[in-house]
Structure 1
Amino acid sequence: MMSGVSSAALPHLRPASTSASNATSSLQPVVPDATDAATSGFRLDVSQVKPLSGAKGISAADHPDLRDLMATNWLMTHEASADQPAVADNAPENTYAQVKVGGKVVATLYNGGSSVMTNAAAATIGKLEDPPGLGGPDLAQWRADQYAARLGGTVEKAPTAITQSQWIPRESVSTTYSREQLDAAFQAMLAEGQKASAQRQSAYLASRAQAGTSADVSA
């Protein structure tokens, strides 16, 4: 059973510190606290710092598993963006039917077979296993009938309901790619990163140049 039960999460607020510092006059010496006194003996001697020998940067290109994982995620993201449907499954224009109890809507079914309902309705219906292989308007109709029977309500079909023959299932996105696809995706990902970096650098240099011109004019 697919039931839409949503809950809004309250933002986690981290308040400002309520502890106030003791104000001191500029003529009074600053007394180090216990922590400062305890750690004052441990100071880093910069002259003793030596560069690491033999150290080198780590690149994702040198790690096949990481490289393929990044390429796979890149491919999936771009395919999802390219195939993004114009109208979502749960859009109002995709409504199949509504289940009403006492004149109030307690569940809404969509042409793709998905459904949403109130928390009270979901608690009353409980666990409901969909018949295997059922989808689209046929699944929406089956769910609507089951909901109405368990809730003691009625099913009202929407004007936007379609038949099973009119329903076009959405294609699932494949997550299996060839060696050539992964290699090409990784190179495309690197090119995108370099292009974005160049754009950011150009914007920064342009802002610096504009700021310098403004300063010269005002001077």
Structure 2
Amino acid sequence: MMSGVSGATLPYLRPASTSASHAASGLQPEVSDTTDAATSGFRIDVSQVKPLSGVKMISAADDPVLHDLMATNWLMTHDTSTPQSVVADNASQSTYAQVKVDGKVVVTLYNGGSSAMTNAAAAKVGKLEDPPGLSGPDLAQWRADSYAERLGGTVEKAPTAITQSQWIPRESRSTSYSREQLDAAFQAMLAEGQKAAAQQQSSYLTSRPQPGTSADLSA
């Protein structure tokens, strides 16, 4: 069953307070020499720190998995093959029908077959298996009739509803890329990063005061 539920409550994640995080970590501000003396026994003796041996620094270019992962992500974020005019499946202009109970909209069906309903409606509908082979407006019509029957409501066809013959299935985007595409994307990603770094450096150098100049701090 493919059905969206509108008005669902999302979990609210409240970040830990600053004071709580400090207490958990055991880090307290140094407030006096007495505190320094009390905690001196827990300080690290730098002379005992030894450099790691056998450690080799590698770049993303040297890791085939990371190289391809970054290149794939770059290609997906820069993909311009999908026309900007494509309307989302759940856009208002793609509405197929609505199911109303006591004059209130409880379910909205879309031309692609997807649906959105209130929490109360979803609880009453329960588990409803879609018939195999149905898609698009035909699926939207079947769902509308089934939902209306279970909810004791009525189906109102939207002016934007289309027929099955008018429906054009949305093509899925392939995320499989050739070796040439991945390598080219990785190089393009590096070039972008170098350009951004150069711009930041140029901006920083421009903002620095010139030698021999002074600022009037009397104001």
Q: When the two structures are superposed, what TM-score results if normalisation uses the length of structure 2? A: 0.79
Going from structure 1 to structure 2, the CA distance change for 1:142 and 1:207 (only over 3 Å counts) comes to farther
Matched, 1:17 2:16: no
Q: 1:39, CA displacement in angstroms?
A: 1.6
Deviates more, 1:181-190 or 1:115-124: 181-190
Matched, 1:32 2:35: yes
> Aligned partners of 2:170, 2:38: CA distance in 1, in Å?
63
The share of aligned pairs that are identical, in percent, is 68
2:153 maps to: 153
2:71 maps to: 71
> Aligned partners of 1:56, 1:195: CA distance in 2, in Å?
27
Return the letter of the residue paired with 1:31.
T
What secondary structure sits across from 1:144 in the alignment? helix
1:43 maps to: 45
2:138 maps to: 138
Q: 1:82, CA displacement in angstroms?
A: 4.9
Query: Gapped runs of 5+ residues in structure 1?
Result: none
Going from structure 1 to structure 2, the CA distance change for 1:11 and 1:52 (only over 3 Å counts) comes to closer
Q: 1:134, CA displacement in angstroms?
A: 2.0
Query: Gapped runs of 5+ residues in structure 2?
Result: none
2:128 maps to: 128
Q: 1:131, CA displacement in angstroms?
A: 2.3
1:83 maps to: 82
Deviates more, 1:103-112 or 1:188-197: 188-197
Return the letter of the residue paired with 1:126.
G
What secondary structure sits across from 2:116 in the alignment? strand
Q: CA RMSD in A?
A: 2.9
Count of residues paired in the alignment = 205
Matched, 1:110 2:113: no
> Aligned partners of 1:169, 1:115: CA distance in 2, in Å?
16
Return the letter of the residue paired with 2:82.
D
Going from structure 1 to structure 2, the CA distance change for 1:133 and 1:201 (only over 3 Å counts) comes to farther
Q: 1:116, CA displacement in angstroms?
A: 0.4
CA offset digits 1:134-154 (Å, max 9, x no partner): 221111111111111111111
Q: 1:32, CA displacement in angstroms?
A: 2.5
